[in-house]
Structure 1
Amino acid sequence: MLDIIIYNGTVITMEGEGVGAIPNGAVGIKGNLIEVVGETSEVLQDYKAHRYVDAHRKVVMPGLIDAHIHSGIALLRGLSQDTDNWMEKGLWPFHKVLTPEDRVAGSLVNIIEGLKAGTTTFCDYDEPMREIVKNHAMLGTRARVTEMVNELPDDLSDVKVGELYTFDSAIGQRKLKENIALLEEWHGKENGRITCLLGPQGPDMMSKELLLEVKELANKYDTSIHMHVAQGDREINQMIKRYGKRSIQFLEELNYLDERLMAVHLTEATREETHVLGRSGAAMILCSGSIGIIDGIVPPAAEFLEVSNRLALGSDQAPGNNCNNMFNEMKFTAILNKCKVKDPRVFPSWKVLRMATIDSAKAIGLGHEIGSLRKGKKADVIIVDFDSPNLVPIIQEPIRNIIPNLIYSAKGSEVEAVIIDGQFVMENRVVLTVNEKQAVRKAHEAAAELAERAKASFHKIDTPIANMMKDGYL
């Protein structure tokens, strides 16, 4: 006897080389695992269940994976857009008044946002992660979490652009100890839903000695390293000034380039550098929406795919991307890369869907557990309602239009139900594990207090968006 049978839907398994579509398919779940995937008639004939879910005119597919998100800075959404220096001039003046409590309150709403748009797995990369991770535990999401480790002082708002950062080894050791404590307390918890990584923020934000210590710890704990790499001209400038080398060359010499590394962005990586990283076995995490808004750049994902398929998509963070919605990310990725090379054939919808499901699962080291619908894998499943006007009609042949419409038409609001680890976490668009309205209210209250604290230094902020505000345009 199964716990759940979802039937009569278009099942997108993501098995094989493409999307593995079953036009009238069914998925059977027992406990936290998928027991059967197949034609509806065969599954209903061979299995019984405690609960049946009719998915007529709906798509049943693996949960989406957000391979890179900073959920703890969600309260800074919309405060540093349309500027020529997003991090130093835009983010840092507000970042310095962001409290740990603000981070946790914003994180909860941020994760709910992603969950309601079909994200079941989050690679959350922030601080204080030992508190933020409790949001994932409470919500029921799957998470690959890490504390973000650097040696930078808390207040960087007065650092001049281009000035070499000052490192404080005591800060680095404190943050590294937090990362180790996270690993020892949370790795494998919540029935295995929570797993932990090591999280150096970037090669420009910590000493060579601390980077080497992190590498040793990754080997000791047999875990991956989640790190920004070549994420902007600011980073490259810091690396050249400090070491006389660009980021990827520097990391290669430190033996960082291997299958443990999840390299985020590669915004400033050259074609040759991208190939070096891809051939090493390292994964690339592409955040198209964030980098498009922050830098107006399309990272070298196409170049990476020339040598490796370990490419995943991430939404990054609310103050850069403004939304944490993987449907949005898939659409951005497809369109921006088509525009970059002036070829509509590149980054086809089926390939981009793989980047948010099975290819992403492989890139973050969970391909054996999630990312596709197959007997024995974890039951992370979403149901998308194709009665939404923007997804009508459903055509199966001579051309199946479902996958292009998922990528180019869906908004995320069409996700009707989310199952994670065999449990309904959202049903009929209602999150079942937390009080969403209460979480939103607390985030609003925390943001109001944060904004009040930031007013004192607002006159010092000189960015396009700040000047638009002062001039009355916003």
Structure 2
Amino acid sequence: MKADFIIAHAFVLTMEGKGVGMVQNGAIAVKGNMILAVGPSADILSAYQADRLIDGTGKLVMPGLIDAHIHTGLSIFRGMAQDMSHWMQKGLWPFIKNTDKKDALTGSLVTIIEGIKAGTTTFCDYDHNMNDIVSHYVKTGVRARVAETINELPDDIGTLPVGDLYPFDTALGNQRLQESIRLFETWHEQGDGRITCLFGPQGADMMGTELLLEVKALAEKYDTRIHMHVAQGDREIDQMVKRYGKRTIPFLDELGYLDSRLMAVHLTEATKDETYLVAKRGASMIYCAGSIGIIDGLVPPIMDFLEAGGQAALGSDQAPGNNCNNMFNEMKFAAILNKVKRSDPKAFPAWLSLRLATIESAIAIGLDHEIGSLKKGKKADILIVNLESPTLCPVFTDPIRNIVPNLVYSARGHEVETVIIDGQFIMEENQLVTVNEKEAIREAQQAAERISRRSGQDIMAAHSDVYQMMKDGYL
């Protein structure tokens, strides 16, 4: 049988079964955007012929990584909101106030490039201006599950004193809801089916009950999922108790929100009982280890959620406070932070982190029928990783294999040399083929300089901890 290309004589992580599904001296055959077969090299090479045969000696072939929660529209503020209290109010909102759509879009493209180069093939992007951001995904050739952020917060929310109850603007909320509907009706299943749409209420504290219920009804109408921050911080809980006299998760349960459509992001402030309730109701949890570790100094209850039988995934979140959108970074953070939290070196093993960035993530976001593992009939989203990189050398196969621990604890992302998405080569020999990386970075830098000039007074007025550290000579 004829294939378009075959990768042979590689270590292949299929992510099928209960672990990583390792095939030593394995091969994969691809035709169009589909995987024809995966198995031992001898079997694949005897059953298939291809115009292009890629020698996988010294390489690892694995499914593309899935970033289940990312805000690429915030990426222009990379590194501006860490090492501080009230990162959103003091660090982020003063910059957002002074940023136009064009500037935000330039940062978005750079972060998508960053993710691709570190092996991310599917982005669950959740932000304002998504009707514009989505064009980056079409142009770069990657897979995206996108949502327009919906809230009822006025544009000048950054001037509100910390702790005051948020004012709601229902007209703005309806406008953002209409943008979400436009996103779905314009972009769903576009880009040869790589682009799919979700609904994205920002949080139960940032919109009224009526709008929350409208979003839920629309998700049912369009038969899609809801991407939403849930119990994401003490700020949210404070707002919910002040407004409703209830914590977020019991409130959402009463609204019927806790079901299999919900992708609940963070759960940072969830109690153990609340965590178990979310898992029991069938919602998935998106865990952003690096972001929450840096901006909150906390480890969300991912282990409790998994022990309750919940379906979980990893995400990188946002660059202002996490500083990078690299899923190798997230896998490492997830494993190490939970070992420390449990005081147990056996907690959160490397294979679990890897599954939460591939097949488990695909299940959590509702795309496991297409991606997340290397299997006949699935989409050809594939990475080729150089095992001869210093960070992954040496390779042991006996008496134990060290490939997966090294991927999680040692790899930095640059070891990914080839990225294939939907059967197309998006990056070869570490070079992107669909976009001009240098031009994108240059434009983002110019945008950052414009934002900087406009934001000085607002940053000083916000009493940013990072600004004070710089004044004191620490930065």
Normalising to structure 1: TM-score of the pair? 0.99
Indicate the residue corresponding to 1:457 in structure 2.
Answer: 458
Alpha-carbon contact 1:57-1:394 (below 8 Å) kept: no
Secondary structure class of the residue paired with 1:305: helix
Q: Deviations over 1:55-78 (max 9, x none)?
A: 111110000000000000111011
Secondary structure class of the residue paired with 2:154: coil
Indicate the residue corresponding to 2:234 in structure 1.
Answer: 233
Structure 1 counterpart of 2:70, one-letter code: I
Q: Distance in 2 between matches of 1:22 and 1:276?
A: 38
Q: Distance in 1 between matches of 2:406 and 2:181?
A: 43
Structure 1 counterpart of 2:77, one-letter code: L
Which ranges of structure 1 fall in alignment gaps of 5 or more residues?
A: none
Indicate the residue corresponding to 1:67 in structure 2.
Answer: 68
* Paired positions, count: 474
Alpha-carbon contact 2:283-2:310 (below 8 Å) kept: no
Indicate the residue corresponding to 1:41 in structure 2.
Answer: 42
Q: Distance in 2 between matches of 1:98 and 1:377?
A: 40
Q: Distance in 2 between matches of 1:282 and 1:98?
A: 34
Q: Deviations over 1:441-463 (max 9, x none)?
A: 11011111111111233331313
- Do residues 85 (structure 1) and 103 (structure 2) align? no
Alignment of 1:255-404 (within 5 A): 255-404=256-405
Indicate the residue corresponding to 1:204 in structure 2.
Answer: 205
Q: Give the deviation of 1:97 after TM superposition.
A: 0.8
Q: Give the deviation of 1:306 after TM superposition.
A: 1.1
How big is the alpha-carbon RMSD for the aligned residues of Structure 1 and Structure 2?
Answer: 0.7
Normalising to structure 2: TM-score of the pair? 0.99
Q: Deviations over 1:334-375 (max 9, x none)?
A: 000000010010100111100000000000000111000000
- Do residues 134 (structure 1) and 127 (structure 2) align? no
Indicate the residue corresponding to 1:154 in structure 2.
Answer: 155
Secondary structure class of the residue paired with 1:222: coil
Alignment of 1:85-234 (within 5 A): 85-234=86-235
Alignment of 1:385-464 (within 5 A): 385-464=386-465
Q: Give the deviation of 1:24 after TM superposition.
A: 0.6
Secondary structure class of the residue paired with 1:448: helix
Structure 1 counterpart of 2:430, one-letter code: R
Indicate the residue corresponding to 1:250 in structure 2.
Answer: 251
Identity of aligned residues (%): 61
Q: Distance in 2 between matches of 1:308 and 1:221?
A: 27
Q: Distance in 2 between matches of 1:83 and 1:345?
A: 32
> Which stretch shifts more, 309-318 or 325-334?
309-318
Q: Distance in 2 between matches of 1:390 and 1:59?
A: 14
Secondary structure class of the residue paired with 2:24: strand
Secondary structure class of the residue paired with 2:204: coil
Q: Distance in 1 between matches of 2:344 and 2:44?
A: 42
Alpha-carbon contact 1:74-1:317 (below 8 Å) kept: yes
Q: Give the deviation of 1:309 after TM superposition.
A: 4.1
Secondary structure class of the residue paired with 1:49: strand
Q: Give the deviation of 1:246 after TM superposition.
A: 0.3
Q: Deviations over 1:313-348 (max 9, x none)?
A: 000010021000000000000000000010010100
Q: Distance in 2 between matches of 1:123 and 1:464?
A: 30
Q: Distance in 2 between matches of 1:103 and 1:132?
A: 9
Secondary structure class of the residue paired with 1:157: helix
Structure 1 counterpart of 2:377, one-letter code: G
Indicate the residue corresponding to 1:56 in structure 2.
Answer: 57
Alpha-carbon contact 2:91-2:459 (below 8 Å) kept: no
